[in-house]
Amino acid sequence: MSEHDLEITSEEDDLFEHYRIVADKGQSLMRLDKYLSLHVANASRTKIQNGIDAEAVKVNGQVTKASYKVKPLDVVTLSLPQPPRDTEIIPENIPLDIIYEDDVLLLVNKPTGMVVHPAFGNWTGTLINALVYHFQNLPVGRNGEGRPGLVHRIDKDTSGLLVIAKTEFAMTFLAKQFSDHTIERTYNALIWGEPKEWKGTITGHIGRSARDRRVMDIFEDGSQGKHAVTHYEIIKPLRYVSLIKCNLETGRTHQIRAHMQHIGHSIFNDTVYGGDKILRGGSSGSYKAMVDHCFAMLPGQALHAKSLGFIHPTTREWMQFDTELPANFQAILEKWGNYVQHQ
């Protein structure tokens, strides 16, 4: 019997699976595609072939062809979309802000407050509900899971860019880039306070809190959670808050939010990580009134997925996309700027 090590991979923790299969000592020579179709449950030969073509399958650490003959003790690794969820998706005519589209993918600028995919408590009104209304035959992964086209995701109250796959090959090709951490992702965030260093790197394993499963904790000793790295740079200090740029080296759930709280600079108006309270400056008078007004202007945390860069699945060219900050985010920055200037 082969050894199978299955683990959920990086991008937001539950969209893709990694498989690691060690061939038996007595394994007879067998084509790679046939071998995988026999050893990966519910994966069709076509899906396996897509994975091989997208270089998401390796033997002994090397990309190889479907015709490769698996031999005893070969180590085969691959990434595939997770198994299906028992979820019926209701198409809904929800407008989408599409900033780019071609035959194999599209880029969507998601607004704050929109859930990405259906789940408990949010079965309708999601980005996926909108996608299945506007687009036919989006790839759904093995057996037809409830997240067609979805390669990665961002939080409900985070705005910004998402890439959506329109073909199975594009889905696998893009998924591999997320898994390999070669996707370039830049976020803008308004945080409380000003970090001591204008540029810095935050590391620390991220895992779910034992106290509250909705919250992610940092485990600096690596005893729990998954490795996570966030690079930040201050763009504009505003006395009691700062506008920063963050680049993700990994893609863990709530990564920027948890990392910024960990170093004492929670994201402004982040209700889960303590940013919805006044953490710098006074707590009365005109300052409090100004801050409360800013809280009211923003429906979620001040975090925006601003840019996204990746290799195109078919042209193999590097593509880079950028978006403007949402209007209410920009209005808050202007309000803070006016306050600092006149105090």
- Residues carrying an active site annotation: 155
The residues near 137 (Cβ < 8 Å, ≥ 6 apart) are none
295-305 burial, b at 16+ Cβ within 10 Å, e below that, comes to beebebbbbbb
**Calpha distance 259→204 (Å, rounded):** 8
Residues in the chain: 343
Phi-psi map region of 270: left, alpha, beta (phi>0 left; psi -120 to 50 alpha): beta
Q: How many CB atoms lie within 10 A of CB 185?
A: 22
Instruction: Tell me the HSE value of 284 on the side-chain side, using a 13 A CA sphere.
Output: 0
Q: Let me know: does 33 contact 204? Beta carbons within 8 Å.
A: no
Judge contact between 74 and 109, C-beta under 8 A: no
Distance CA 235, CA 272 (A): 24
If you ran DSSP here, which 8-state letter would residue 48 be given?
H
CB 141 within 8 A of CB 56: no
